[in-house]
Amino acid sequence: MADTHLEEYESEDYETSEASDRPESGWRQIPGSLVSARGIELHGPWGPVFGPLDLDIDEGGVTVVSGQVGAARTALMMALCGRMRLTRGSLTVLGFKNKPTKVFAQSAIACMNELDDVLPSVTVRDLVTEQKRWDSPWYKIVPRVDEGGVADMCAEVFGEVPLPRLNAFVDDLPEIQQLLLRIAVANTRRPPLLVVGRIDKIADDRERATLLGRLVALGEQQSVITADVNPLEPGTGVRAVVDMHGLLGPGDIGVMTEVR
């Protein structure tokens, strides 16, 4: 839902690694890979956020970016789905090299408070109805949804987790229902790439494992990238973990308020 309100970038191109001090590595895009980054950097108004970084993520399943919580990790996740323009480097996502607006159109992002935070006064019905209206042609009148409308949008994402009550305030829902609802609302188009913010936000270990299991289920049909500071238990079904500990610090938090 929040994606609809974001303005596209004035320029799609990053400053490539050839223009930086990093030598050319000779690396080339591998067909079928999801993310290929070389020398990517982001600077905020008060200093460096992250980089230079090299990163490869294969297509399909769930990939967990493992690293310290902070502005750097958040900004990296946003950059991977075209919501944050880098300062320099070469970033290819979904086959688009340094084209964040094209990646934006082919991806969804959820559970990132900077983009899709929900006000306490919003009900489940309000949230689902608004998203259905955004998804519909401008000339179509979309009435407020009932329980069936909530199920249509949420059932695939929730799986065995009970669906939220129609008139419940989103802020009053159990934490796992809140996050799954935000994922369902963001993922209505089922794009090839889904980025989900920090799953380590959930304090309860069982609920966090359940959320990860739902992402693994979604990863059967689309590529999913999420982030977690905690080590993962064996047998989670996650396809890959990218260890960014020591590479992503707290970062310049000013980048989250700067217009890029």
Which tens digits make up the pLDDT trace of 52-73? Answer: 999 999 999 999 999 888 889 9
* Predicted local distance difference test score (pLDDT) of residue 198: 78
The reported pLDDT for the residue numbered 251 is 60
Residues β-bridged to residue 242: 65
Are β-strands 223-228 and 193-196 bridged in parallel, bridged antiparallel, or unpaired?
Answer: parallel
Window from 42-46, 81-85, 220-224 with minimum mean pLDDT: 42-46
Provide the angle, in degrees to the nearest 10, between the axes of the packed helices 205-218 and 175-186: 20
Average confidence score pLDDT of the chain? 85
46 SS3 class: coil
Amino acid identity for residue 50 in this structure: F
Predicted TM-score (pTM) of this structure:
0.85
- For the segment(s) 2-23+33-256, the CATH number from 3.40.1260.10, 3.40.50.300, 2.60.40.10, 3.20.20.70 is 3.40.50.300
Please state, in angstroms and rounded to a whole number, the distance separating the CA atoms of residues 232 and 249: 20
Mean predicted confidence (pLDDT) in 95-114: 94
Q: What is the mean pLDDT of residues 248-259?
A: 57
Split at pLDDT 50, 70, 90, the class of 22 is very low
Q: Which of 183, 144, 187, 189 is nearest to 167 (CA)?
A: 144
Domain range list for the chain: 2-23+33-256
Tokens 């688009």 sit on residue: 96
> Which residues lie across from 241 on neighbouring strands?
64
The answer, yes or no, to whether residue 97 has pLDDT greater than 80, is yes
pLDDT at residue number 24: 38
pLDDT at position 202: 87
- Confidence at 9, pLDDT banded by 50, 70, 90: very low
210: number of Cβ within 10 Å = 17
| Composition of the chain by helix, strand, coil, percent to 5 | 35, 20, 45
Task: Give the separation between CA 120 and CA 124, rounded to whole angstroms.
Answer: 11
